[in-house]
Amino acid sequence: MTAIKKEWKVQCPALAQELMIVLGAFLVGKLLGLFLTVVTDMPQEFPLGSVFGIIGLAVVLFCVGGQFVLGLNNAILMSRTRKGFLLGHYVVSTLSLLLCALLALVLFVLEVWLIPGMGEAGRQQVQQVLAVVLNPALAAAFLLGGVVLANFVGALLARFGKKAFWVLWALWMFCFLVLPRMMEASEGKDSILTRAGRALAGLFTGFSLTAWGVVGLVCTVLAFFATLLMSRHKRAEA
């Protein structure tokens, strides 16, 4: 409990900032949605604020990884045990992500209910989303998987520095630039990119949701233990 209390004192100011990130992203999306409904044909019922709120949650995960990098180094400099830091960081980060997710969920409910003319359709949409989001298995997968993945990225950066950064940057660019083009090319002319896209599409569609769940669980466990190993070999940097 002492380790958790220490980490809570360290991350408490960051929690307020993370909540503001989610709220700020929601407000930006809401204002953008109002603007687009005026100048374009975008339907008024589209919850753009909630979409931006989800983006805010993704930013919070980046913050969790960044806090791991700084927190681990500071913990070593202050002669805290790695075990104590990791315990406190995982617990507090999970709690922080939970609070941010609850805020995003509340904002979504308010946004849908406040849209003019939604009525019964809006209530049904809220109920459907709540049924999915509040599923214990999915909620646990998001919270624990998100924190473990964020800390794994943070451990890579803390252990390998710029080398890990450039590898992660290349992977990010591949996933968001190259991968979509490969998927689009899967239905085009016969080429190397088309064949790669078809093979990739077959890989994603060839497994059931249960199989992907097992893969995600295995990857999460491996990332967790890899984080522990990298933390053991981390040296303090003044």
Task: Name the nearest CA neighbour of 55 among 67, 47, 45.
Answer: 47
Asked if 163 and 106 touch (Cβ cutoff 8 Å), the reply is no
Asked if 155 and 67 touch (Cβ cutoff 8 Å), the reply is no
Asked if 184 and 197 touch (Cβ cutoff 8 Å), the reply is yes
Helix, strand or coil, per DSSP, at residue 84 = helix
Dig out the tokens for 154 from the structure.
């943070």
Q: What is the pLDDT of residues 82-93, one digit of tens each?
A: 888 888 889 999
Task: Name the nearest CA neighbour of 148 among 205, 100, 186, 94.
Answer: 94
Radius of gyration of the chain (CA): 21
Asked if 40 and 125 touch (Cβ cutoff 8 Å), the reply is no
Helix, strand or coil, per DSSP, at residue 40 = coil
Q: What is the pTM of this model?
A: 0.80
Asked if 197 and 186 touch (Cβ cutoff 8 Å), the reply is yes
Count of C-beta atoms within a 10 Å radius of residue 214: 12
Q: What is the pLDDT along the chain (238 residues), one digit of tens a residue?
A: 777 887 788 788 888 899 999 999 999 988 888 888 888 776 766 778 888 988 999 999 988 988 888 888 777 777 777 888 888 889 999 999 999 999 998 888 888 777 665 666 666 777 777 777 778 888 888 899 999 999 999 888 888 888 888 888 888 787 777 666 665 655 555 566 566 666 666 666 666 777 777 888 898 999 999 998 888 866 656 5
DSSP structure class, residue 137: H
CA angle 62, 68, 69 (to 5 degrees): 95
The Cα–Cα gap between 20 and 107 comes to 12
